[in-house]
Amino acid sequence: QVQLVESGGRLVQAGGSLRLSCAASGRAFSSYGWFRQAPGKERELVASVTWSGSVVYYANSVRGRFSISRDNAKNTVYLQMNSLRPEDTAVYYCAASSAVTTSDLLYSYWGQGTQVTVSS
């Protein structure tokens, strides 16, 4: 069965950095995305990348601070987060899609999430 497992979430101070990892098993996908959901807020797409790396998306709130990358050989996706802010605090989810898309409706596989907490 397809499984996505996130790791790397922890408590970090504002201005610090953190790298999240998403290990996928079962198959490769056309698109990988990192989503996040903060308490009382809607889930939002943070960043996504295609298998080829030709299409990369970043939310305006993280552009210039976060970087998504993937290792196709390991079927692993990373989210490098720099200059973290308290508003980045959320549960971060890894997701995969068979389509080249930024729509969460087309992401069929999801991890369990990893908590990122940024203190002021």
- DSSP one-letter string for 43-56: -EEEEEEETTS--E
pLDDT in tens, 2-23: 899 999 999 999 999 999 999 9
pLDDT in tens, 59-73: 999 999 999 999 988
Which positions ≥6 away from 21 have C-beta within 8 Å? 6, 7, 8, 76, 77, 78
For the chain, what is the mean pLDDT? 94
Of 15, 3, 12, 21, give the one whose Cα is nearest residue 114. Answer: 21
Of 55, 58, 47, give the one whose Cα is nearest residue 94. Answer: 47
Question: Looking at residue 119, what is its pLDDT?
Answer: 97
Average pLDDT score over residue span 42-61: 92
Of 83, 81, 69, 73, give the one whose Cα is nearest residue 114. Answer: 81
Does residue 107 carry a pLDDT above 90?
yes
